[in-house]
Amino acid sequence: MRDLKLPDQRHPEKAHRPDNAQPKKPSWIRVKAPGGEGYNQTRQIIREHKLSTVCEEAGCPNVGECWSQGHATMMIMGEVCTRACTFCNIATGKPPEALDAFEPGRVADAVKKLGLNHVVITSVDRDDIEDGGAEHFAQTIRAIRRQAPGTTIEILTPDFIRCDPSVLEIVVKAKPDVFNHNLETVPGLYPEVRPGARYFHSLRLLQRVKEMDPSIFTKSGIMVGLGENRQAVLQVMEDMRAADIDFLTIGQYLQPTPKHHAVDRFVTPEEFASYEKSAYGKGFLMVSATPLTRSSYHAGDDFARLRAARQAKLARG
Ligand code: SF4
């Protein structure tokens, strides 16, 4: 078994890459240090249930704030991802284990114990499994509905690009409240940032979710500071609206280790505010665009606002 604490073992495909210097973070990127009673309780529940979280595996800067409120984003289907995106700190390689049939039940039990109004469930990519883990997602949603019927459910899924297109129906039929799949960056940067994925496939995936069940909110996000320009970001917004995506998130890319994609620049808070304004102008129901925005950051509060925004839009006719 690899020691996932060692970067070379965690990212064997990145070990040969030259180091990219990690620039000093600007003053506007300041986070709460992990610790305190709420944080420790969340950590204990996650450990007791033998669950992985993207908060820890991706080295998310918001973990101190989110976990102090019990908001952990659980990562199902193991700790090893079959893709090798250059921005991501999740361990990569051939997953050593088959899917754990008891995991959906443990996730549901943890959601109940954490007392969450809203939960976000994500996963590693499992290109080694025929349905990409679609049935496992569906089982997890159903298990949470049984154990914690008052909790709304947001899923952040892989792209299922190597699967039969019909597997998407399995997930949609389980009726998550929010279906999120991140585009991550502008199409011109896909070959270097997200080499295993295809921009238009990801867009179409979200469009198909909406076509199959318009009651499900669709959500997607990108990171900025990877080398994109403003015009390309505005075009991504246009593409997302054409695919009927409801909710857009934009956050600053932070480089996990010297072996990861370099930070091109730190986008200023004023530029984020300008992106938010442009996105609302293009018709998104909800937009979160700040340096520390992540897909699951404040997802519970945002879901309540998303629902209110849809009702207000329907009332306007
Ligand atoms: S922003 Fe999301 S991934 Fe980061 S700590 Fe919060 S819940 Fe976890």
Distance CA 175, CA 3 (A): 37
Euclidean distance between CA atoms 294 and 245, whole angstroms:
17
Query: CA-to-CA distance for 199 and 219, rounded, in angstroms?
Result: 15
Six token digits for residue 80: 């090893």
**Low-confidence residues of the chain, pLDDT below 50?**
none
Pair of tokens at residue 122? 């994500």
Task: Report the percentage of the chain scoring pLDDT > 90.
Answer: 89
Mutate to test the pocket of ligand 1, among 46, 53, 60 (most ligand atoms within 8 A of CB): 60
| 72 CA: nearest ligand 1 atom | 7
For residue 292, the ligand 1 atom closest to its alpha carbon is 1
Residue 120 alpha carbon, nearest atom of ligand 1:
7
- The confidence score (pLDDT) of residue 5 equals 78
Q: Is the distance from CB of 206 to CB of 236 less than 8 angstroms? A: no
Mean pLDDT (the chain) is 95
Does 85 belong to an annotated binding site? Answer: yes
Pocket perturbation via mutation, ligand 1, pick of 297, 301, 302, 303 by most ligand atoms within 8 A of CB: 297
Indicate the SS3 state at residue 248: strand
Q: What is the pTM of this model?
A: 0.96
Pocket (CB within 6 angstroms of ligand 1): 54-55, 60, 62-63, 66, 71, 73, 294, 296-297
Q: What is the pLDDT of residue 42?
A: 96
| Confidence at residue 170, expressed as pLDDT on a 0 to 100 scale | 98
pLDDT tens digit sequence for 250-263: 999 999 999 999 99
Show contacts of 22-31: CB within 8 Å, 24+ apart: 22/255, 22/257, 22/258, 22/263, 23/263, 23/266, 25/254, 25/266, 26/266, 28/266, 28/268, 28/269, 28/291, 29/61, 29/252, 29/254, 29/266, 29/291, 29/292, 31/61, 31/62, 31/64, 31/65, 31/292
